[in-house]
Chain A
Amino acid sequence: MKNKIHELRKTQRITQSELADAVEVTRQTIISLENGKYNASLILAHKIAQYFGVTIEEIFIFDLKEENV
């Protein structure tokens, strides 16, 4: 699943460590999320969306074809 974490982080000038600290995960998890290697759980997706002040759908892009829906 693609996401806009990297773009949002750059726009708001937030480092990976700051975001990781705020949503209580390791920096490596943020790196994996940004690279699309790992999909966040619903709870983590909520935390990230709340941190940026947007909805989950605005950050995580659900591709119907990719997910075979």
Chain B
Amino acid sequence: MLKMLDCEIRTDEEYSKKLRQDIKKDILVGMIGLAAVVGGIFNLFAEGSMNSSFLGGLFCGTGFAIIIFAIKSLLKTRKQLKDDKFRREERLKLSDERNRFIGMRSLSLAGIITMGLCYIGMLISGFFSRAVFWTFWGIIIFYSVTTCILRAYLEKRL
């Protein structure tokens, strides 16, 4: 979905160029995943508590997921660079205006729903835990400020 939103491509040449850049991005993402796994393994073997075991598991799990995602994306990109028909199909899927509209709408609705749930969570958590309350509060404020900044920026640009 993020690739779709990022895609302002009109021709096959532009798309091929973007795919070659994507290979570098995929490798970078894979390296980040690998770093997370290594960090997780260190955490697992570190002396101590359940907390380090939890963090180790979390780092390893997310790291592996990122590595798998990067490898999958890399293989798909390479296939696209070799196969013209497949590349065109994928380009059309990414640049299709309806797909992009659906992507933008889904992200915007997901943001609104998340904020609504965060607000409810903030109200309820206030009775039990201040830490959770401030976390929800922080998310809501960050989202609102980011929205205002982006709106001001886009109003100037468009």
Contact = CB atoms under 8 A, between A and B. Distances in A.
A24 B92 contact: yes
Interface of A: 20, 24-26, 28-29, 32, 38, 40-41, 43-44
- Report the contact-size class of chain B (Cβ under 8 Å from the partner): under 10
Nearest to A21: B92
Contacts of A41: 97
7 closest A-B pairs (Cβ-Cβ)? A29-B98, A26-B96, A25-B96, A41-B97, A38-B98, A29-B96, A26-B92
25 contacts: A20-B92, A24-B92, A24-B95, A25-B92, A25-B96, A25-B97, A25-B98, A26-B92, A26-B93, A26-B96, A26-B98, A26-B99, A28-B96, A28-B98, A29-B96, A29-B97, A29-B98, A29-B99, A32-B98, A38-B98, A38-B101, A40-B97, A41-B97, A43-B97, A44-B97
Interface of B: 92-93, 95-99, 101
Task: Find the residue from B93, B95, B96, B98 having the highest chain A CB count within 10 A.
Answer: B98
A13 B97 CA distance: 25
Nearest to B10: A24
A32 to B, nearest CB: 6
Given A29-B98, A41-B97, 17 more contacts: A20-B92, A24-B92, A24-B95, A25-B96, A26-B92, A26-B93, A26-B99, A28-B96, A28-B98, A29-B96, A29-B97, A29-B99, A32-B98, A38-B98, A38-B101, A40-B97, A43-B97
